[in-house]
């Protein structure tokens, strides 16, 4: 007589309680039928309870909907993980399985498990940021990496697997501390990389208080007209000056910074519509042509102008106060090149310089003045002959247009830069307008009151909107561990 095989699960456990001589597990016996019915229901209940228990834990939840339901407990939504969702919809993870010979079912299951692993990791990282606190440099950089479904490369820089690597890229500069970056490994397209290659690596940048372009209006100015300008931001800086000719009245124009006692002078005529520009690197351009050899920079020797200005503003019965700055700063004049301001005829021969000292614009309000040549006549310079202006120069037409332009740090603002190679995902139709989607996702990580924008990393943008001059965009290799020192053996 052959032995009856035991039933599995709860049914077998129920029948095992009966004495062996009753042969309870024998098929067809009422005991076996009853035990099978009861045990099957108990097994199914246990299976369902196990699935419920698994679905309540982030690391074991077996379905996408379970993971998203757990994320919702922390007010996270599917849109917070848009990149990994779009990659899954486009078959990215199936491509990551390579050319292995798999059935369609196994390939789909493998791709789904890869997708769940990425989604699970992104949710864990998001919750960690929320628990630690948003609005920080780390929160914005890590939040951007999560939205891109990019892996951090902290281990490249530190043997500690829990370390966070954020490079403060401009710390060594005088006005630094605004540019931060973290290394990441991000997705590329097509999804199947060439054999033996790794996914691309790069940087996510955060530029605090980015430089913004500011300028005054291109305003017509009369002879000896004074005007004021206000610079915001945090620091003093350099300013470019543009003078546009009006008729034939812009003869040997001069723009003076009366606050800093320095000025810029051009020893020729700026004809109607021509634009003369003193750049921040000391070059002087006339409609794009370098004319630095005919220009000059000077500082000091503005006592008369300062006294005259204060005498016009002071009441008639009060004496004029002396100039507020040091006497040496007012009296001693320094001209580059030497002799360029000499008005005597014939004009002196000058030794041209490659570049002039740049003009400065102080933080806050400063006073400026525009002037042209007046009361100069000599046959040796007939084309530059001019006559004296009336006492009130505003009664005659303007002598030129003046515009100041500079860059200043924008407070309460930040710019996030993502690798430009991610544009390949847009070209492939995986995602549309990736910077806009990342910007929307960063709303939960942004500090209140801070203006935030996102764009692709472009070296020219970074250099023009920060204090950096050069950018190293390479990922350093992992440090080589020091060789172990063998223990000395006892003698």
For the stretch 252-277, pLDDT in tens is 899 999 999 999 999 889 999 999 99
Tell me the range of 154-163, 209-218, 375-384 where mean pLDDT is highest.
209-218
Helix (H) or strand (E) holding 463: helix 459-464
pLDDT interval class at 145 (50, 70, 90): very high
Say if CB 372 and CB 252 are below 8 A apart.
yes
Closest CA to 233 of 362, 404, 403: 362
Asked if residue 190 has a cis previous peptide bond (ω within 30° of 0), the answer is: yes
* Confidence check: pLDDT of 307 > 60: no
CA distance 310 to 329: 18
Strand segments (E) across 209-347? 211-215, 219-221, 225-231, 237-244, 254-257, 262-266, 275-278, 284-286, 289-290, 295-299, 334-336
Give every CB contact of residue 278 below 8 A, 6+ residues apart in sequence.
240, 241, 242, 255, 264, 284, 295, 356, 358, 359
| pLDDT tens per residue across span 153-195 | 887 777 776 778 888 888 888 888 899 999 999 988 887 766 6
Neighbours of 426 (CB within 10 A): 15
pLDDT at residue 390 in the model: 74
pLDDT attached to residue 7: 64
Phi then psi dihedrals of residue 230, to 5 deg: -125, 125
DSSP-derived letter for residue 386 is: B
- pLDDT (0 to 100) of residue 400: 96
- Let me know: does 264 contact 229? Beta carbons within 8 Å: no
Q: Which of 118-132, 193-207, 218-232, 292-306 is predicted least confidently?
A: 292-306
Q: To the nearest whole percent, how much of the chain has pLDDT over 90? A: 46
- For residue 325, pLDDT over 50 is answered with no
Q: What is the pLDDT confidence band of residue 104, given thresholds at 50, 70 and 90?
A: confident
What integer best gives the mean pLDDT of the chain?
A: 82
408 forms beta bridges with 212
For 356, residues 6+ apart whose C-beta sits below 8 A from its C-beta are: 264, 278, 282, 283, 284, 292, 295, 296, 297, 336
Assign 126 a pLDDT band (cuts: 50, 70, 90). very high
Q: List the one residue out of 214, 200, 254 whose CA is nearest residue 400.
A: 254
Question: For residues 43 and 476, which has the higher predicted lDDT (pLDDT)?
Answer: 43
Distance CA 63, CA 293 (A): 74
| E strand or H helix at 454 | strand 451-456
Query: pLDDT tens-digit profile of 450-465?
Result: 999 999 987 777 777 7
The single residue listed with the structure tokens 């050069």 is: 470
Cβ atoms of 412 and 449 within 8 Å: the answer is yes
Residue range 125-133: mean pLDDT, rounded: 94
Phi and psi torsions of 146, nearest 5°: -65, -45
pLDDT at 473: 67
Which residues face 243 on adjacent strands?
Answer: 276, 402
Q: Is the pLDDT of residue 6 over 90?
A: no
Tokens of 25: 């597990």
């Amino acid at each position: 007589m052959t032995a009856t095989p035991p039933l599995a699960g709860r049914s077998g456990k129920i029948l095992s309680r009966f004495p062996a001589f009753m042969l309870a597990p024998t098929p067809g016996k009422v005991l076996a039928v009853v035990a099978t019915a009861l045990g099957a229901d108990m097994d199914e209940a246990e299976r369902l309870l196990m699935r419920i228990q698994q679905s309540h834990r982030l690391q074991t939840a077996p379905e996408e909907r379970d993971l998203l339901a757990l994320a919702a407990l922390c007010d996270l939504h599917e849109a917070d993980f848009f990149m990994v969702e779009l990659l899954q919809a486009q078959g990215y993870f199936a491509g990551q399985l390579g050319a292995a010979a798999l059935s369609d079912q196994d390939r789909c299951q493998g791709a789904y498990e890869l997708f769940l692993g990425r989604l699970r990791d992104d949710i864990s990282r998001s919750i960690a940021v929320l628990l630690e606190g948003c609005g920080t440099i780390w929160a914005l950089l890590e939040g951007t990496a999560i939205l891109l479904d990019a892996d951090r490369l902290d281990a490249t820089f530190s043997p500690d697997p829990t370390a966070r690597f954020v490079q403060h890229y401009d710390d060594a500069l005088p006005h630094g501390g605004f540019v931060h970056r973290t290394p990441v490994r991000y997705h590329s397209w097509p999804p199947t990389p060439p054999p033996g290659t790794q996914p691309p690596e790069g940087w996510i940048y955060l530029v605090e208080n980015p430089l913004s372009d500011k300028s005054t209006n291109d305003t017509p100015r009369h002879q000896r007209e004074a005007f004021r300008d206000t610079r915001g931001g945090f620091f003093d800086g350099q300013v470019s000056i543009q003078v546009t000719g009006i008729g034939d009245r812009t003869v040997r124009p001069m723009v003076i910074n009366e606050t800093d006692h320095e000025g810029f002078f051009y020893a020729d005529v700026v004809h109607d519509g021509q634009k003369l520009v003193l750049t921040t690197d000391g070059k002087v351009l006339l409609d794009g042509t370098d004319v630095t050899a005919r220009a000059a920079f000077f500082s000091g020797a503005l006592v008369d102008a300062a006294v005259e200005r204060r005498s016009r503003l002071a009441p008639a019965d009060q004496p004029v106060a002396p100039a507020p700055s040091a006497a040496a700063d007012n009296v001693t004049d320094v001209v580059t090149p030497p002799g360029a301001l000499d008005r005597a005829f014939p004009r002196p021969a000058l030794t041209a310089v490659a570049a002039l000292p740049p003009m400065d614009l102080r933080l806050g309000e400063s006073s400026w003045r525009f002037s042209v040549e007046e009361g100069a006549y000599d046959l040796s310079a007939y084309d530059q002959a001019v006559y004296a202006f009336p006492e009130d120069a505003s009664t005659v037409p303007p002598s030129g247009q003046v515009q100041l332009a500079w860059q200043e740090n924008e407070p309460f603002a930040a710019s996030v830069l993502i690798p430009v190679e991610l544009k390949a995902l847009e070209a492939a139709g995986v995602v549309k307008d990736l910077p806009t989607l990342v910007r929307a996702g960063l709303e939960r990580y942004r500090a209140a009151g801070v203006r935030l924008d996102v764009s692709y990393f472009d070296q020219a943008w970074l250099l023009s909107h920060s204090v950096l001059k050069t950018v190293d965009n390479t990922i350093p290799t992992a440090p080589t561990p020091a060789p172990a020192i063998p223990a000395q053996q006892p003698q």
